[in-house]
Structure 1
Amino acid sequence: MTTARHLTDIASLDDEALLQILERSLTFRRMMDQGRYPKPVLEGRLQFNLFFENSTRTNLSFEVAAKRLGAIVSVVPVAASSVHKGETVDDTVVTLCAQGADYLVIRAAPAGTIASAVSVIERNGYPTSILNAGEGALGHPTQGLLDVSSVLYALKRQPDDRLEDVRLSICGDIRHSRVAASAIEGFSRMGAQITLVGPSQLLPSEKPAGVAAMIEDLGDGIDGADVVMALRIQKERFGADEGLSLDGFHEQFGLNHAKLKRASPDAIVMHPGPMNRGVEISDALADDPERSLIRSQVTHGVATRMAVLEWLEEARR
């Protein structure tokens, strides 16, 4: 099993660790459904959430997960921090470690931020564990894990059952998406058949490892799919990329019940949030309790992050 101190990406997890985290996330989800929570295995531990980008789901779910496990949690007020006085991110990381951080959850836009944080704490001899809560377009490992867990839960499967017979279509702004990067890694590790769907401007320049096909037509891209994941359209990309408009995207690639008929009869839909309603997905489909896993994904955010923290705590001892 991986003897890791950090969670930087899904690729760093060996198969045993991946399956353990998924199994525990499902256990925690079932406990949450019953209004129960695990023993406070993080009692006395200190966690800082250091988010250089705005977040609701990820930031709060890491906070809730750690508190449910008994940790002391402090959300760093980045807008009022010394970063705005010129302090480097590495110096901020060292400052938090020097205050006794056991866990440091980091979300940042620049590529290399997570690797730099890991390097600086190890050079300085701190025992702090780093958790990647989203870095640039490179990865969002706990989102990928919770998405896999959400599908296993919906299909009433255990991790050992895997997903070899599941066809997953990921639709939208894949080129710029950290969520897509980690979803591809997580679902491909579980054997799912993955298709990427979107306009050419928003697809990767080359087909990523683990992906079966890239398709520029929504109907063809979701044809026969068991799971359809819509990604948030990053509005700042429109206008910068020639030939793209929100209205045009919604018409061609926005999910609704009518378009979902090309998928399998029992297809389920996902969205990592936040949603641009009426752009990536219609209100009716997003809120359809029979087809949408979107709210379940939010619940799995807490369950999966509890599982990750528990796994790291076991590795530290």
Structure 2
Amino acid sequence: MTQPDFDADLPAAIGEALTEFLRDASESIGRTEPAFTGATDALREFVLGGGKRLRPTFSWWAWRGAGGAASGDEAAGVLHAVSSLELIQACALIHDDVLDSSDSRRGSPTVHVAFASEHARGGWLGSAEQYGLAAAVLIGDLALAWADDMFADAPLPADVLRRARPAWRAMRSEVLAGQYLDVRTQATGDASVDAALRIDLLKTAAYTVQRPLHLGAALAGAGDDVIDPLLSFGGDIGVAFQLRDDLLGVFGDPGVTGKPAGDDLREGKRTLLVALGLQHAGAGSAAASVIDSALGDAHLTDATVERVREVLTDVGAVAEVERRIETLTDSALAALDTAGLADPAPKRLTELAVKATQRSH
């Protein structure tokens, strides 16, 4: 029997691995508690209904670049292991939407909004909003638990999984630390550049690029001579990716981003874009007042969003973020060149880096 070449259509292979795992996991708990199928169905739809599969893709190409094969039993096991990263992502997104009070994700109602609507339609007891929030927290927790299960159950030798666990553990802790810092920064009103960059490094760079790369390389048995430059590459590209996302959060097309224009402003996000805008505008200036008054205003109008866009552009914050993205991308690619990865991994990782940081994605 011919072994599949996972390089040929990696997103499809990741989707198949997730479909199989989620089906089996859902059926298992469904036999024990049929009422839970509403939650498991929601998680399956969320995971399989969209997403760029960036994390497992970065991880896969680190595995390949560090000497892993494109096909075979071990490659299938690695694909299973790295696909579990999509469940970590599902947990983070579902919980982020709760933390940010977001109404939509990928053009559809967020999980907590969908479950609140179910409560309201059914005329159930208690608060529909509270029910939706509780359901989303639990479904996000389920995604995290199943991520651990999927990773641990990967058909790989115990020593292979063992050498990748430090990366796995670090990633889970770092993304939660980043989420906490994000919440804390909004609460304290810390709009400093340093605070914004720290959140970007932990919440996005570490778990989107750095640790997936670390995970894939560790599964292949790579040493520090490969892992260290990959961590440098991942840190810079991850921050650049977040800076692009920050720009899209204010200037992006809702048809592309799947979220209303200006949602980051309504949620009070102290992004680097905002921090630089306030810094360049100067404390107490009219321009700073326009930015500051918009942050956290849930009823922000499109006209006000447009005014904030103009101010951020006029004071030079947008141009500086674009410069930082370009500088970070260049330094990341320079680090990648020193990792000594096998072909075609350098080319594929370069393509991923460019795609993640381009002006629309």
Q: Same fold (TM over 0.5)?
A: no
Q: Which has the larger share of strand?
A: 1
After TM superposition, the score normalised by the length of structure 2 is 0.25
Q: Which has the larger share of helix?
A: 2
